[in-house]
Structure formats: structure tokens, C-alpha cells
Chain A
Amino acid sequence: MSNCPASLGDRMIICENLRKSYRTGHGRREILKGLNCIINKGERLAVLGRNGAGKTTLIKQIGGVEFPDSGHIIRSMTTSWPIGFNGGFQGSLTGYDNARFIARIYGKSYDEIRDFIADFTELEGALKQPVKTYSSGMRARLAFALSLAIEFDCYLIDEVILVGDQNFQRKCQIELFEKRSDRAMIIVSHDMHAVREFCNRAILITNGIGENFINLSEAIEAYQQQ
């Protein structure tokens, strides 16, 4: 924690009483029913829960992709878009063109990030192909590389740390968990091995309510007992 009281409270994300429902064939289904959580600078929060519990929904609200029905999200650090298997790209454009677009909207120089992306994703020739021809793993790699190149205070990661081969996983670990160990992360995962390795805190979503755990092992135990 910071020693300076004046800066206490900045560089964090606060979710207050989030509610989110979706329209279904008959009526609305409420996914989040008043969820609370706080992410501080440098924390790595695991989001746990069964399929359909609302993990991805929570990440979308925090990333500002969707808006909660009620409740507040206060962000005082820059937040990446949710990095996952889809989203954020224009399918008809090539990987490079998407990178150029994303560099422009985040105010980064394309020339600087271009080489990093080519090197990091190892997609080579595929980067000159339209993104719609990519497998979901390839998309995730590109999204991941771009978000690293742009630099955020907080990364929202939806199931992708497990993407790709050993070599790629190792690179992700170096770039994300070693070089950027000061950044906050919110990680959605079903892989308890990865959660144990990368996270230091957890929130377990059950019936639309989030239970915050300081102790990671307790969270994993609670999740596994569900």
C-alpha cells in the first residue's frame, strides 16, 4: 500500500452493488444481483464461479463493454478491454489493420507496436490475413499482444492465459506476470492450477452475488465444493 495518504484510493476499481439482467425468450434473467468488489493497484483478482454464473458478465461491465442496470463502477486506473476469445476486432480487416486501428484509438504509434506484435504473437503471415480467418486461439493471442503493447494499469483477462503452446504460455508469463508485476489483473478461469499460480485474491460468484475472499485457498475450496 502507498505510504502517502493523499494517494490512497487512487489507482483502484470499485464495483458497487452491480446488477445486470438480460432479456431472454420469457422475461429477463438477472445475472448479477448486487455484486460488490474492489481491485487495488497491483492486485491479481481471480473471478471464480460455475458456467453461467456471471464471470464474463462482470468483466464486461468493468471493461465498459456493457453497462450495468444499476450500481456503479468507479475506475481510477486505465483498464484494458476484456481480452478473450472474441471481441474487439473487425473480422474483415487484417491483423495488422486491426492493430493499426487499435493503436490509433489508444493514441499509440503503430510503428512501435507493430514489431512487438509480430514478435509476440508469432502469427507471421497470418497477420496479413483477415481476422475472420483466425482461430479463437489466434485472436486471443493478437488481443493479448495488443493489450500488452498499449500498457494498461489493469488487465481484464477472460480465460486466455491457457491459450497456445508451452512456448507462448511462457512468453505470456514473462510479459504479464514478471515484467508487469506491478499491474492489477482480473482473471476469469476455471483452471485452479493457474489461479493458484497467478492470483493473490478471489471473488466467487454464486447466484449473482460475489463473495470476496482474502485467502485464495479458501476461495478455491468454496468453489470446488459447489
Chain B
Amino acid sequence: MASLAKGWDIQVRVIKALMLRELTTRFGRENIGFLWVMAEPLLFAVLVGLLWRAMKGPLEYGVDIVAFVVSGYIPLVLFRSVVSRAVSSFSANSGLMYHRQIKVIDIIAVRFFLELIGHMMAYLFIASTLYAFGMFPAPYDVGFLIIGWIYYSAFTLAVALVIAAASEISELVEKIVPVSTYLMIPFSGAFYFVSSLYPSAADVVLWSPPVHGMEMMRFGLFGPSIDPKYDFVYPWIFTLPCMALGILLCRIVRRRLVIE
């Protein structure tokens, strides 16, 4: 028991240290520092939202168009940045492997948490700013919004773990990932409500686990008028085995990692 608690303490210490290190290397200490973490998703979502607003008018599927775009885009960008940052992240950080208490999973976890915090901050910032201008609804059910985020980000983490390990095994993965993350555009559920699709198309996209998370988030935000489609169990049938596989692959890859 004592050694388990000690091991936990060490991992907490390591994750904290890695988090601070990642913040310094990526954002530096000058000017707004770590607030840069939210700059990219923020700009992206706002600009695309305004573009849609100019093209299509104030409403999409009966809800505010900017709120619709922001609520879909930020999780999508989260997925893309977490997964692309996971590629080759072990060999790029091989210096860290000199310290036995740092596990490869810590590296992925830290990058994931940092992106998650950044994107959630951007989400919150945009939502409250737009809310002040009457362009963003007050959430219908905050609990559902959070549960949706959990489903969506668990899927993201699971995929990132597999990709991180796979990219160390084959260079092909490194090449394929940037292209294949675009597959998430239709399969993230960012640009539609499932209820607005043809039934045959809806059946197809509901095979994609993150669509369920996205529908939950948007139900929490816009309420029952969007007629959300989701299942509480199905996404875990993919996410949990995928996470287990990712962790297993990471362990195997670590044992084979050659460090200069």
C-alpha cells in the first residue's frame, strides 16, 4: 500500500513538472505566456463562425449560427491537435527517458491535458463573450455539456495513445495522420445535428463514437429542440478497448525504444 501511494506521488510530481516544462518550452514566459494555448482554437472558431454568419445568416438548424460553429469546431480542433502532437512524441522527447520515473504515458497525458485545458478555456471565453452580445445561449444543462466533453475527450485520448505508439513503430503512420485527421470532419458531428441528416446517413455517423459526445454537448448547450441522438454505452465499447490497446502498445514501444 505504502509503495502504491509513493508511486502515485511520484507520478503526480512528474506530471506537474512535465506540464510546467511543456508550458515553458511551447509558450515561454514573455507576454501572455500560457494563454497562447487558447489562442489557436479561439481564433479558428471565431473566424469560421463569423464566416458562416456572413454566408448563411444568423441561424443554422434553428440555433444561433456562431454558437453552432463554435460548439462544433473547438472539440474538432482539440482532436486534431492532440492527435497530431502525439505523433513521434516519444522519440522527440527521448531525453526525458533518462529519468526512470517518467513514463511514456505521462508525455501523452500531459500534452492531452494541456490541449484540453486550452480548448476548454477558449470555449468558455468565446461563450461568455458572445453571451454578453446575445449571440450564445445560456447552457440548457451544464451537466450534459460536461458529460459530452468527457465522452469526446476520452475518445481523443484513446486515439492519441494508439497513434503515439503506432508512429514509433511505422513511419507510414507519421505521414498518414495529418491527412486522416480530416476524416474527423464528417465523423466528429461538428457540422450537423444528427437529427437533421437523412436517416440512412444518421445511422452511419452514429457508428462514430465522438458523434455521441458531440450530440450530448450540444444537447447540454441548446436543449431538446435539436432532438439529440446519443447512446451512453456505445462510445465506451470503442473507447475503452482502444485506450487499453494504446496503453499496451505504448508499453511495448517503450521497451524497444532506442535512446541516444
Residue pair B16, A88 in contact (C-beta under 8 Å): no
Which chain A residue has the least Cβ–Cβ distance from B100?
A64
Q: Mark B87-105, 1 if CB is under 8 A from A, else 0.
A: 0000000011111111000
Kindly name the residue among B25, B98, B101 whose own CB sees the greatest number of chain A CB atoms within 10 A: B98
Asked if A122 is at the interface of the complex by the 8 Å CB criterion, the answer is: no
- B257 proximal to A (CB < 8 A): yes
* Given A104-B13, A104-B16, A104-B20, A88-B258 contact (CB < 8 Å): no
Interface hit among A35-43, A79-87, A163-171: A79-87
Chain A binding surface, main DSSP class: loop
Top 4 nearest A-B pairs by Cβ distance?
A104-B17, A64-B100, A88-B98, A81-B98
Across the interface, which residues of B come within 8 angstroms of A66, CB to CB? 97, 257-259
Query: Knowing A65-B259, A104-B20 touch, does A88 contact B99 (C-beta < 8 A)?
Result: yes
| Contact assessment for B25 and A105 in the assembled complex, using a CB-CB cutoff below 8 Å | no
Chain A residue nearest in CB terms to B106: A105
B83 to chain A, nearest CB (A): 23
A198 at the interface (CB under 8 A from B): no
Are B254 and A65 neighbours in the complex by a CB distance under 8 Å? no
A134 within 8 A of B: no
**Using Cβ atoms and an 8 Å threshold, which residues of chain B touch A82?**
98
Q: Do residues A67 and B21 form an inter-chain contact, with CB atoms below 8 A?
A: no
B24 within 8 A of A: yes
Interface set of B (CB-CB < 8 Å, partner A) = 10, 13-14, 16-17, 20-21, 24-25, 95-102, 254-260
**A76 contacts B by Cβ under 8 Å:** no
Chain B CB within 8 A of A102 CB: yes
CB < 8 Å neighbour of B99 from A60, A92, A93, A102:
A102
* CB-CB nearest in chain A for B254: A67
Partner of A65, one of B16, B24, B97: B97
Which positions in A face B, CB cutoff 8 Å?
22-23, 60, 63-67, 79, 81-82, 86-93, 97, 101-102, 104-107
Tell me if A101 and B98 are in contact (CB < 8 A).
no
- Given the complex of chains A and B, what is the CA–CA distance between A81 and B10 in angstroms? 16
- B25 and A90 within 8 A (CB): yes
Bound state CA distance, A219 and B242, in angstroms? 52
Known pairs A82-B98, A106-B99, A106-B101; list 16 more (Cβ under 8 Å): A23-B258, A65-B98, A67-B256, A79-B100, A81-B99, A81-B100, A87-B95, A87-B259, A92-B25, A93-B21, A97-B21, A101-B17, A101-B20, A105-B13, A105-B14, A107-B13
Q: Which residue of B lies closest to A89 (CB)?
A: B95
Residues of B within 8 A of A79 (CB): 100
A82 to B94, CA, bound (A): 14
Question: In the complex, A93 Cα to B98 Cα: how many Å?
Answer: 16
Q: Give bound CA distance, A101 to B24, whole Å.
A: 11
Chain B proximity of A148: nearest CB distance (Å): 16
> Bound state CA distance, A82 and B100, in angstroms?
11
A87-B100 Cα distance, complex, nearest whole Å:
13
